[in-house]
Amino acid sequence: MTQITVQRWTPAAIAFALAIAVVLAVLAAGPLIFPAGFTERLTALFVYVILGAMWNALAGYSGLVSVGQQAFFGLGAFVAILLSNAGVPVYAALLLAALAVGVLSLPIGEVMLRLRGGEFAIGMWVLAELAHLLVNLDPLVNGETGTSLIALDAVPAAARRADTYWCALAAMTALLGIVFLLLRGRIGASLQAVRDDEQAAASVGVRVLATKRVVFVLAAAGCALAGALWLATAITFQPRAYFSVQWTAYMIFITLVGGIGTFEGPVLGAVIFFAVETLFGALGVWYLVGLGAAALLFALFAPRGLWGAAQRRYDLRLLPLGFHVVLPTTGRIIR
Amino acid sequence: MPDADTLLDARGIGKRFNALTVLSDVDFAIRAEEAVGIVGPNGAGKTTLLNVLSGAMPADAGHILFAGQDVSRLDAPARCRRGIGRSHQIPRPFGGMTVFENLLVAARTGGNAHGAAAYDRCVDSLRLCGMLPFANRRAEALALLDRKRLELARALATAPRLLLLDEIGGGLTDAEAAELVDIIRVIRGRGVAVVWIEHIVHVLVQVVGRLVCMDGGRVIADGPPDTVLRDAAVIDAYLGSAAHDHPVG
């Protein structure tokens, strides 16, 4: 019988997508209308959104809990410096660095993705420490002395600020778009099946390793792009600052508070993290303790995060990642 | 020798878990559109045989031909794509997804269906298994019996030529068991071969034309249900003891 239909886009979803388009259009004019300091802060926000979206794609949709994503963040910045020093135009170097780290993550994934659960998490942490040590060995970096993105240092501050802002906005938009299309398509459903039960997923035809590989490479390239963009705002590169586990702690906070396993959650989480950092960042160690405690409390008492809880409570289905079966007899969606 | 009608032909299957031999030299064949029941005491190796046939675990010895091709070295996803579907004894739903989405993954990957054809197959499987009203429910919110039905519906969505069922009838009331028998008959009517492990023999014999009894990792009887159920070795190994543990009809 054909009266049963499968609904994806709803009027509310279309309205929400249009609202996102308007927000992005306003943000695109950012450097022309915002004060310099705010433009710089928003660039940081875009990087946080990327980090949150990548970690959520790994942990929330694929069950891959990584505590070593800073490996790719640091490698992205490092490779960007190498490429720039080799004569690649600096903004092209940021993108190429992300792609190069994505390629590098393929052989890494072959090893890491054979590990399960906690083994994978620890394996990724070891990988991050290893990457940090190897980068320290480079004579250019010279241990923790570090280096800087010299090519960008030569550009006037105002132009640099605006260009980096636009790059970060474009990167965030593109990566969110890719994650959206990925999760909405065949791979997204297969990923969630693998997350929920690997053996059952294999039994219905899902190629488990190949499916995980897609999201692992995407998250590696995305985190590398975030690291390269961070380098473009900070100019200086000290390995300790980029390979710090705090980056993964930020990703976890953003994802858990916003709503793990929801597409919109990490965006909300990044905005909250951004606000908290702006208000309390000066408190130093206590700020970090507060972040950790908040993430812990969310994990224990509100495991769906803010967006997940709101979605349940108000029955929101905004961006259409799932499938809803509409039965004709009542004309409404059964649940 | 297998005739042209043979869908699956497993020869000399052996499986060990460390020192424990779970399957030894098991031969098992099934013709297209045939329905075979597997019975035997707990620990006989029934579920392990299903795991080996579906590719969930590799056999240590023996060969498996499916539709004339050697699938011994193929993993579970590859065998599923060729037409071997299965359900699990303890249901393994994709808890974070809706019931419909559980089936959609199966239809699109194992069943290689696209777009509207995939939707139609899922709706059809849900309707057949009486799960349509739960289509939008998250699988983790289902009760045990509905999880078992989801196992069956999800396996069907892969469009199998051979369906391996592992105790989907346990815990059902008589009315529910009758419904299940009707569902399996419909599935058989579509030309799907069925291997069904079940302790409830009186339900099983309503569907299957052949019964295999296993004990201690071996096949001890294989033939028409009446003959197998009267076999002295079967009564000794299974029915005698099972009369106390299990309803055998």
User: What CATH number does the domain containing A61 carry?
Assistant: 1.10.3470
pLDDT digits (tens, 9 = 90+) for A15-36: 889 999 999 999 998 888 888 8
Name A187's Cβ contacts closer than 8 Å, sequence gap at least 6.
A211, A214, A215
A202 interaction partners in chain B (CB closer than 8 Å): 55-56, 75-77, 80
Residue A168: domain span: 5-326
Q: Which of B50, B128, B136 to mutate to test the interface with A (most CBs of A within 10 A)?
A: B136
The alpha carbon of residue B151 is apart from the nearest alpha carbon of chain A, in Å, by 9
- pLDDT tens-place values along chain A, 335 residues long: 447 888 888 888 888 899 999 999 999 988 888 888 899 999 999 999 999 999 999 999 999 999 999 999 999 999 999 999 999 998 999 999 999 999 999 999 999 999 988 899 999 999 999 999 999 888 888 777 878 888 887 788 888 889 999 999 999 999 999 999 999 999 999 999 999 999 999 999 999 999 999 999 999 999 999 999 999 998 888 899 999 999 999 999 999 999 999 999 999 999 999 998 888 888 888 888 888 888 888 888 888 888 888 887 877 777 778 888 887 764 444 44
**DSSP letter assigned to residue B161:** S
Query: Does A191 reside within a domain?
Result: yes
Q: How many Cβ pairs closer than 8 A exist between chain A and B?
A: 108
Name residues whose C-beta falls within 8 Å of residue A267's C-beta, 6 or more positions apart in sequence: A49, A52, A53, A176, A258
Q: B76 and B174: one domain? A: yes
Residues B74 and B34 occupy one common structural domain = yes
B77 and B100: one domain? Answer: no
Neighbours of A126 (CB within 10 A): 13
Instruction: Please report, for the domain that includes residue B189, its CATH number.
Output: 3.40.50.300
**Rounded to an integer, what distance in angstroms lies between the CA atom of residue A334 and that of residue A326?**
7
Judged on CB neighbours under 10 Å (0-12, 13-18, 19+), B149 is buried
Q: Does B16 reside within a domain?
A: no
Q: Are B151 and B175 within one domain? A: no
- For residue B120, give its domain range: 91-159
Asked if the ipTM is above 0.85, the reply is yes
Into how many domains does chain B fold? 2
Among B136, B159, B182, residue at a domain's last position: B159
Q: Are residues B112 and B235 in the same domain?
A: no
Residues of chain B with pLDDT under 50: 1, 243-249
B183 in the same domain as B79? yes
User: Any bridge partners for residue B36, and if so which?
Assistant: B195, B210
Q: Report the domain count for chain A.
A: 1
B131 and B170 both lie in a single domain: no
| Judgement on whether residues B76 and B101 belong to the same structural domain of the protein | no
Residue B180, domain member (yes or no) = yes
Instruction: Tell me which chain B residues have a C-beta less than 8 angstroms from the C-beta of A197.
Output: 92-95
Residue of B nearest to A189 (CA): B105
For residue B38, tell me if it sits in a domain.
Answer: yes
- Do the Cβ atoms of A80 and A59 come closer than 8 Å? no
Helix (H) or strand (E) holding B66: strand B61-66
Please judge whether B101 and A202 are an interchain contact, meaning their C-beta atoms are less than 8 angstroms apart: no
The answer as to whether B64 is a domain residue is no
Same domain, B102 and B220: no
B104, A204: Cβ pair inside 8 Å?
no
Asked whether residue B21 is assigned to any structural domain, the reply reads no
> Chain A closest CA to B233's CA: distance in Å?
34
Distance (Å) from the alpha carbon of A198 to chain B's nearest alpha carbon? 9
Q: Of B159, B178, B201, which closes a domain?
A: B159
pLDDT in tens, A251-283: 999 999 999 999 999 999 999 999 988 888 888
Q: Are residues B173 and B239 in the same domain?
A: yes
Are B41 and B135 found together in one domain? Answer: no
Expressed in percent and rounded to 5, the helix, strand and coil fractions of chain B are 40, 25, 35
